Amino acid sequence: MLGVRVREGFLGGILVVDLGGQYTHLISRRFRELGVYTSVIPYKSLEKSILSKFDALVLSGSPLSVSELDEAELNKISELVFDSNKPILGICFGHQLLAKLLGGNIERRMEFGRTGVRILKRDPIFNGWDDFEFVWMSHNECVTSLPNLGEVLALSENGCIATFKVLRESNVFYGVQFHPEVKHTVKGLRLLENFLSIAGVARNWSLSDYVDRIIKEMINEVDVNAKALVAVSGGIDSTVSALIAKKVFKDKLITVFVNHGLLREGEVEEVLSNLRSLGIEPLYIDAEERFLKLLEGVSDCEERRKLIGEEFVKIFRELIERDPEIKYFVQGTTYPDVIESGVVSGSSKIKTHHNVGGIPSWFKMRILEPLRYLYKDEVREVGRLLGLPEALLKRHPFPGPGLAVRVIGTFTREKLEIVRKASKIVEDTLREYGLYDSVWQAFAVVGDDMWVGVKGDERDQGYILTIRVVESSDGMTADWVRIPHEVLDVMSRRITSSLSRVTTVTYAITSKPPSTIEPC
């Protein structure tokens, strides 16, 4: 797979050492917001030649325990990290690992969610912070003591060392137990900015540089005279990928739009119109019956994701077998897809995405993923740079498996239609009240559970339907939106009035994490 690697000949910026955390690339994303070039590399791939290219290192979080790393791994990390003579910031697990390598003590003590932190000693890392701040914690272990050379700068309200500093020769190491990269740590970005200043890292990078680099990298690494197949869904991710691929393969690019029968109401016509307005004439394949027959009666959502991914690939293989000149397959994978599918070394799988873990091993086509290390908001900005209309850029993200992941329990066509029509009501109501553009996603979910109701003075039994509306900037973290009760009331009445099989409407009020945005 073609992705982004450490830029050849580039000196400076931040190297994020990926220890398998769910937010690793979000750390990278935040530094990019601050105008700094970043690259992410799994810790098992660390080499001195790579470390020498950067101004500073960040050690990421991880689902692992420090005690799970064997002595050989600890020694390798210690040698490479400390011998690099670079400023270091350890975050969450990285904070614990740094403390362990420096001789500190780690104990099992959990902290999750919004947590208070009290600053014990003022330091440049806390410029712009008050003496007490709320941060976002997500860990099972914490640092309880440091060797004499370390300074404890802040404690959590539960007694964990929240921040420490170690001066070693001419270098400085910081550890923070919380996650400054997530929006829930309100002043987290300021802390990262402070670290850049302390480390002397230049802020001279932009997203347009990244796009230029991706295009040049693809041109250098592929046969531009060969044909490439790109799958488009009409969403921002796949459309931007198609536009980038078009700059590389030009008229050798074959764009395919497969209707899997799991799209939103009226979406087929809208997608075709949007693509044609961008100068893309897709090959349209109506495979609705093919997919729905496959999914009928399947209860396990992860299984549905895999079935959808495999069926897509079968369709693409059929096209490729008809045209041997097709050598490449382009898809709109973004980093949230990658990290949630658990394909990064050390990371825990949350769910399989049809364009990542859903690709079967027998598909041998070379896959190009120009957006693999970008977040949703970055993809939107790339789309803006490439000239996508604002209406398309403001379109809510939509999962590749479509409405199949918004049906909980047994998949049926009846439940699919309920979700499709109810989601349309939710979106239309938000537009009516001027709220659509201010939220990240809004949709309906239905499961197997039933609720007794009264319709026409008679006892009735129907589905429980859940409305989900969230706000986010990147898709990695999200908060539920405090929709006015009046708007929720309108949605509920419209849904129960127009959908006879729904008797009760609920509203989901859990953030990501601990939940995910989509139900399954």
Contact of 462 with 490, CB cutoff 8 Å: no
CA distances from 117 to 126, 166, 182, 457 (A): 12, 19, 16, 56
CA distance 231 to 358: 14
Extract the tokens encoding 514.
């601990």
Extract the tokens encoding 111.
């902290």
The position carrying tokens 């309920």 is 418
The position carrying tokens 């997530």 is 182
Q: Which residue is catalytic, options 111, 141, 181, 311?
A: 181
Is 181 known to be catalytic? yes
Contact of 468 with 427, CB cutoff 8 Å: no
CA distance 89 to 474: 23
Extract the tokens encoding 80.
């490479």
Q: Using omega within 30 degrees of 0 as the cis cutoff, is the peptide bond preceding 63 cis?
A: no
CA distance 407 to 418: 9
CA distance 195 to 24: 17
Q: Which residue is catalytic, options 179, 260, 354, 396?
A: 179
What amino acid is encoded at 166 in this protein? Answer: V
- The alpha carbon of residue 434 and the mean position of all alpha carbons in its chain are separated, in whole angstroms, by 27
- R_g of the chain, CA atoms, integer Å: 24
Is 179 known to be catalytic? yes
What amino acid is encoded at 12 in this protein? Answer: G
What is the crossing angle of helices 207-221 and 236-249, to 10°? 50
Q: Which residue is catalytic, options 92, 160, 301, 520?
A: 92
CA distance 51 to 6: 10
CA distance 380 to 129: 31
Cα–Cα nearest to 93, from 114, 115, 68: 68
CA distance 188 to 182: 7
Cα–Cα nearest to 197, from 130, 133, 128: 128
Is 92 known to be catalytic? yes
Residues with active-site annotation:
92, 179, 181
